[in-house]
Amino acid sequence: MEVLYSSTRNSDKKITASQAILKGLAEDGGLFVPDHIPSLTCSMRDLADKSYQETAYEVMKLFLTDFTQAELKKCIERAYDSKFDTDVIAPIVEAEGTYYLELFHGATIAFKDMALSILPHLMITSAKKNHVENEIVILTATSGDTGKAALAGFADVEGTKIIVFYPKNGVSPIQEKQMVTQKGANTFVVGIHGNFDDAQAGVKELFSDKELAQELADAGLQFSSANSINIGRLVPQVVYYVYAYAKLLKEDKLSDGERMNVVVPTGNFGNILAAFYAKQMGVPIGKLICASNENKVLYDFFTTGRYDRNREFVLTSSPSMDILISSNLERLLYRVAGEDAEQNAALMESLARTGAYEITEQMREQLVDFYGNYASEKETANRISSMYENTGYVLDTHTAVASAVYQKYVEDTKDKTVTVIASTASPFKFTRNVMNAIDGKYDTMSDFELVDKLSAISNVDVPTAVAQLKTAPVVHDHVCDKTEMKAIVKHFLGVDA
């Protein structure tokens, strides 16, 4: 059955999956959502014997119904190949009786690679299918990980250019180095004076700038997005929840139909929304545990029904979760509002105007599968050190937030359901904070000394992505104010004449 996509703010107009991928964001500022969540057509038992690539095909074909089998399989093959340092793509590691789904074995050692290694292929296939002659300009705001993963995915991809904005003082040194050393004549990286929300707001504004869109069109260009607002990011993320369940079933860690809880360290709400979609597709998922850092706007939302971004923005050791406006939450709201675009649009209008909104009691009742909690900086650091002491396994700061929240959940509920924690980054990406958590004595070491030390104490080889950074030259040094974003984009694209 065909799946069509419409905006969360107006469900009248429906478009195909490939059109939604090309557009990224709807013209009314809403996000594209599927008109229904398809059910899996393969049993979990049958999926248990499939490879990651085969599982990806079984899941993605149900959402991307206007892609041919050959098109989709080609995209999958090109994405999940030797860029990943393991054939299984997303290995599961057991520690303290819980399963860590390691989503960081791709080119940039964070979970964004799971979707961004395939998005460029989905995008150029979509362009061909829709006879788009324009060059596609990917415009992206990043809290650190999306930027590098998108740059790596789109670098030198014919028919595309990519522009990335990141908060100049809001990413880790390794994250920044990864971005500013990105090769590829079609890549452009800019630090902005502001935080991630500023970058994201600026990008959204450029997307809805009709005058700019016309100027680009005249020059044979059009924008698209690699942010998790693009449905082409979300669909590939559903895959690994299906895969994780199937693998645990195969290894007899789960029995047929038994429930599995999922814990996700959350920022923009894309990853956990993918888990929600997996549940809707029929994967026996129990609770969806949403873990926040000290920017605990989602915890407050799940406990009170009120979303309120009017608070101080905290820079934490898990910068990819330093977000006060979780864009993808809008997709969940739309669903729990009974796919009522008008009601959703009113909430978003309130968010834009006052920075807050409150959902109805009816909507809240539909969020029973979600549990929200948060971890302080201290709890996060303690979690890294206690895990290391107990098992020798080293968690990154984001995964440690999730692990700490999971402990709180078990304490609160005594729920012993089999649990998978989404492990979203390699500890080598946040080395200083990770090593400081393990022992304060490491703080005097340089970033690259710390990397070698981490490798020694964890018995894990330094990932290639980090080893290469030591010698990589800096090729991007642009910095601008948030008010200058439009001018710098036009300049880069050569439409400022």
Ligand X SMILES: *Cc1c(COP(=O)(O)O)cnc(C)c1O
Q: Is 218 exposed, middle or buried (0-12, 13-18, 19+ CB in 10 A)?
A: exposed
- Which residues, 296 to 325, sit near ligand X by CB under 6 A? 320-321
Q: Which stretch binds ligand X (CB under 6 A): 110-118, 160-168, 244-252, 297-305?
A: 110-118
Number of residues that this document lists for the chain: 497
**Smallest distance from ligand X to CB 426, Å:** 9
> Which residue spans within 16-78 are E strands per DSSP?
32-34
Residue in 8, 271, 293, 295 binding ligand X, rule: CB under 6 A: 271
Distance between first and last Cα of the chain = 48
Residue number with CB closer to ligand X (295 or 320): 320
Residue number with CB closer to ligand X (137 or 400): 400
The contact pattern for ligand X, residues 135-154, with x = CB under 6 A and - = no contact, is ----------x---------
Count of residues of this chain found to bind ligand X when the rule CB under 6 A is applied = 17
CA angle 379, 298, 430 (to 5 degrees): 45
Half-sphere exposure of 73 (CA within 13 A, CB side): 5
Residue in 8, 172, 200, 424 binding ligand X, rule: CB under 6 A: 424
Residue number with CB closer to ligand X (132 or 151): 151
**Smallest distance from ligand X to CB 424, Å:** 3
Residue number with CB closer to ligand X (102 or 145): 145
- Which residues, 214 to 243, sit near ligand X by CB under 6 A? 228
Nearest Cα to Cα of residue 348 among 337, 357, 340:
357
Helix or strand holding residue 197 (H, E): helix 196-207
Residue in 269, 313, 357, 393 binding ligand X, rule: CB under 6 A: 269
Distance in angstroms (rounded) separating the CA atoms of residues 142 and 489: 16
> Do 375 and 401 contact (CB within 8 A), yes or no?
yes
Residue in 129, 148, 247, 398 binding ligand X, rule: CB under 6 A: 398
The contact pattern for ligand X, residues 14-53, with x = CB under 6 A and - = no contact, is ----------------------------------------
> Do 120 and 154 contact (CB within 8 A), yes or no?
yes
Residue in 236, 267, 372, 427 binding ligand X, rule: CB under 6 A: 267
**Smallest distance from ligand X to CB 325, Å:** 11
**Smallest distance from ligand X to CB 112, Å:** 5
The contact pattern for ligand X, residues 347-386, with x = CB under 6 A and - = no contact, is ----------------------------------------
> Which residue spans within 96-214 are E strands per DSSP?
98-102, 135-141, 160-167, 187-193
Residue number with CB closer to ligand X (271 or 295): 271
**Smallest distance from ligand X to CB 227, Å:** 9
Q: Which stretch binds ligand X (CB under 6 A): 60-68, 262-270, 306-314, 364-372?
A: 262-270
Residue type, 431: T
Q: Based on the shown chain and the rule CB under 6 A, indicate whether residue 427 belongs to the binding site for ligand X.
A: no
The pair of three-digit structure tokens given for residue 416, joined into one six-digit string: 């012993």
> What is the strand order of the sheet 285-292 is part of?
92-95, 98-102, 418-423, 260-265, 285-292, 370-374
**Smallest distance from ligand X to CB 341, Å:** 23
Residue number with CB closer to ligand X (186 or 419): 419
Distance in angstroms (rounded) separating the CA atoms of residues 184 and 187: 6
Nearest Cα to Cα of residue 126 among 20, 207, 238:
20
Residue number with CB closer to ligand X (10 or 280): 280
Residue in 38, 147, 194, 270 binding ligand X, rule: CB under 6 A: 270
* SS3 annotation, 399-412: HHHHHHHHHHHHHH
Q: Which stretch binds ligand X (CB under 6 A): 202-210, 269-277, 293-301, 403-411?
A: 269-277
Q: Based on the shown chain and the rule CB under 6 A, indicate whether residue 265 belongs to the binding site for ligand X.
A: yes
List active site positions: 112
- The 10 Å CB-count burial string (b at 16+, else e) for 117-146 is bbbbbbbbbbbebeebebbbbbbbbbbbbb
**Smallest distance from ligand X to CB 12, Å:** 28
**Smallest distance from ligand X to CB 145, Å:** 3
| C-alpha to C-alpha distances, 86 to 63, 115, 485, nearest whole angstrom | 26, 16, 39
Q: Based on the shown chain and the rule CB under 6 A, indicate whether residue 112 belongs to the binding site for ligand X.
A: yes
CA angle 257, 259, 264 (to 5 degrees): 140
Distance in angstroms (rounded) separating the CA atoms of residues 483 and 144: 20
Residue number with CB closer to ligand X (127 or 401): 401
| Residue keyed to tokens 């029995």 | 255
**Smallest distance from ligand X to CB 2, Å:** 27
Residue number with CB closer to ligand X (264 or 480): 264
Residue in 44, 72, 110, 216 binding ligand X, rule: CB under 6 A: 110
Can you give the binding site for ligand X, defined by CB under 6 A?
Answer: 110-112, 145, 228, 265-271, 320-321, 398, 424-425
